[in-house]
Amino acid sequence: MGGERGVSPGNGAPSARRVSVWRRSRRAVAMPECPELHLAGRYINETCGGLVFEGGVQRSAVGRGPEVPFSSEAYKVTAASRGKELRLTLEPLGPGPSQALVFRFGMSGSFRLCEASSPPRHAHLRFFTRESPPRALCFVDPRRFGTWRLGEAWQPDRGPCVLLEYPAFRENVLSNLEDAAFDKPVCEALLNQKYFNGIGNYLRAEILYRAKIPPFEKARTVLEALKHREQNSSLTLSKKLKLKRDNPDLLELCHTVPMEVVAVDKNLFDPSDSDNYAAFKNWLQCYLVPGMSSLRDRNNRTIWFQGEPGPMAPKGQKSRKKHAHLKADPEAPTPMVTTRASKRRSGGAEEPPKPAVKEEEEKAVPDGPRKGRARGKKKVAAPPTLSEPDAPVRAKRNRTSARRGRGAAPAV
């Protein structure tokens, strides 16, 4: 679902780079997942495939990774992804050893190719092209949860990639169902990278929604039923197809749903594309969608779903529903409304109307000095207009009777 847009509504999914842009604009509600990493690798290979790089690798002072001890007069950059990791290979065009780095994107990591003289903020690693003027391939990570390490080996405790190694991924899950990892609710098991390498928060919600599985059903119960169905030789082909239609295969969805995200036109994963949020929003069917419910799992991660949560749902939590107005475009203009409070503050002066704000936001604004508030009250209590002649008379009588009640002498 990436950070960019451009997909036709409801068909494909946005590209990887978009996702990153979208996440930053929305305060990073979810980590980049296998589609984003895969599309990042595609972006690097397509934009840098014809470029020659030179010199050393520049690291920022706050980057969460080691210095890269590599320098070459001419080298090429290529990328490959696996699950939630991306490997960058720096290959000299002449003699000398190559250097590999394996990245994890954290919550907001991405790659961008830009002018070397004006790199983006939070560019923590930079690779410079041999051009005039030079450009830089930058690893950008505003939230600084992303990391990199030297070497080409993938992290050893991660299973096969759900996107690129589907047969091995499926076998790894179904042959290890006795593992304690499957004693947990299926929504929590789906985040275990030992078995579901590449699945994250938004993907698990979309997968379970399409599989019509309650998120807090026991993982082993779901997967053993799937294994039994797969091994049942008595089922005819037509019955198997009907079962698959009525009860989608959870493990197959772990592959096909991420594939929807990457099966888009290559032009859509330009990190500068500003339409990604809309495309991603159109593709989502469950995650952050109005009308869906949500609960926090035992890892304090929010899972979105429809219907009943399942027998292993956390006790004491109330399911919250996503309301339609919460999904409004964050860049849509705020309607201009003059509230009573703004009228009191302005004292009736002719000022441009101010946007309406939520009550919590009004409380967050510090009060002005007492004198200012007192003057504001006096203005509000100004005599009414001549179109209401009875009001001043009644107000005067009321004040007089009140003084008499307190023993005040009548006015002469």
Residues labelled catalytic: 32-33, 84
DSSP H/E element including 279: helix 276-283
Give the span between the Cα atoms of 147 and 32, in whole angstroms: 13
Phi, then psi, of 102 in degrees rounded to 5: -115, 125
Give the span between the Cα atoms of 76 and 56, in whole angstroms: 13
DSSP H/E element including 77: strand 71-82
Give the span between the Cα atoms of 95 and 101, in whole angstroms: 19
Contacts of 158 (CB under 8 A, 6+ apart): 82, 83, 84, 85, 193, 194, 197
Give the span between the Cα atoms of 1 and 258, in whole angstroms: 8
Hey, which residues does 399 pair with through a beta bridge? Answer: none
If DSSP states are collapsed to H, E and C, what string results for 31-73?
CCCHHHHHHHHHHHHHHHCCCCEEEEEEECCCCCCCCCCCEEE
| Exposure b/e, 84-105, CB count within 10 A at least 16 = b | bbbbbebebeeeeeebbbbbbb
Tokens for 348? 């009736």
Burial environment of residue 173 by CB neighbours within 10 A (0 to 12, 13 to 18, 19 or more): buried
Q: Of the candidates 77, 66, 74, which has an alpha carbon nearest to the alpha carbon of residue 40?
A: 77
Q: Report the amino acid identity of residue 171.
A: E
Cα Rg of the chain (Å, integer): 30
Instruction: Answer left, alpha or beta for residue 310, where phi above 0 means left and psi between -120 and 50 means alpha.
Output: left
